[in-house]
């Protein structure tokens, strides 16, 4: 199973309604929404009002990534939007079990995010509790960074644990995901591919539908 998630932060922010329409035509599986607080990462993005407007103007399920400190504060802030997923970073969580339980109570699928330098051992005991793992292949915060190939070894290690599980969480990958990096990620059982400037929101010719159809051929 695989699907594409469009990183809406990389879209044309002055024409979001049109962008959403084009992403729906492309049959995008998820809208990846980065929420950044300017503390955990040196950038700020996507407050509740923006995501409320996005939710009201698309049928594509939202996939919110909290690149923040105090993730529980932001979960409470965004839970009313009813995204499909909320990912929060293990690096900033004081009580992952509590935060996972809160998301479940709100009908939101919980996901744990892991930065490139953080070892898989930090999330092993939480694997049975979540529906997805967001494995960052660049440092969170900014688009356009080079793909961190050391993360491939992390995926290999993670898959050892997941193979022992009856219902393992999905693996989502985010950071310079494109026709060059997708094949090696697919070999390592990635399920959800976040597409940003390098593969979707760029100046290359073609509609979003055409670009996604081209990427889909990599899985055949």
Choose among 62, 15, 65: nearest CA to 43: 65
Residue 12 falls in the annotated catalytic set: no
How many residues would you count in the chain? 220
42 CA to centre of own chain: 18
Burial class (CB within 10 angstroms; exposed 0-12, middle 13-18, buried 19+) of 111 = buried
Catalytic residue, chosen from 37, 63, 131, 174, is 174
Catalytic residue, chosen from 34, 37, 63, 131, is 34
DSSP-derived letter for residue 118 is S
Phi-psi region of 70 (alpha: psi -120 to 50; beta: other; left: phi over 0): left
Residue 34 falls in the annotated catalytic set: yes
Backbone angles phi, psi at 19, to 5 degrees: -60, -45
Choose among 19, 140, 116, 33: nearest CA to 81: 33
Residues annotated as catalytic are 34, 174
């Amino acid at each position: 199973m695989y699907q594409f998630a469009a990183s809406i932060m990389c879209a044309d922010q002055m024409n979001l309604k049109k962008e959403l329409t084009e992403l729906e035509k492309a049959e995008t599986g998820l809208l990846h929404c980065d929420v950044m607080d300017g503390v955990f990462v040196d950038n700020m993005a996507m407050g509740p009002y923006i995501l409320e407007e996005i939710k009201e103007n698309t049928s594509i399920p939202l996939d919110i990534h909290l690149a923040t400190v105090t993730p529980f504060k932001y979960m409470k802030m965004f839970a009313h939007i009813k995204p499909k997923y909320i990912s929060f970073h293990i690096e900033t969580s004081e009580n992952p079990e509590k935060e996972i339980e809160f998301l479940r109570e709100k009908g939101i699928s919980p996901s744990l995010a892991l930065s490139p330098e953080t070892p898989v051992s930090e999330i092993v005991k939480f694997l049975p509790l979540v529906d997805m793992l967001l494995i960052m292949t660049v440092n969170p915060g900014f688009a356009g960074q080079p793909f961190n190939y050391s993360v491939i070894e992390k995926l290999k290690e993670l898959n050892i644990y997941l193979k022992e599980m009856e219902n393992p969480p999905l693996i989502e990958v985010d950071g310079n995901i494109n026709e060059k990096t997708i094949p090696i990620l697919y070999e390592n059982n990635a399920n959800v591919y976040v597409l940003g400037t390098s593969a979707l929101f760029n100046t290359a010719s073609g509609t979003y539908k055409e670009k996604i159809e081209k990427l889909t051929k990599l899985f055949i």
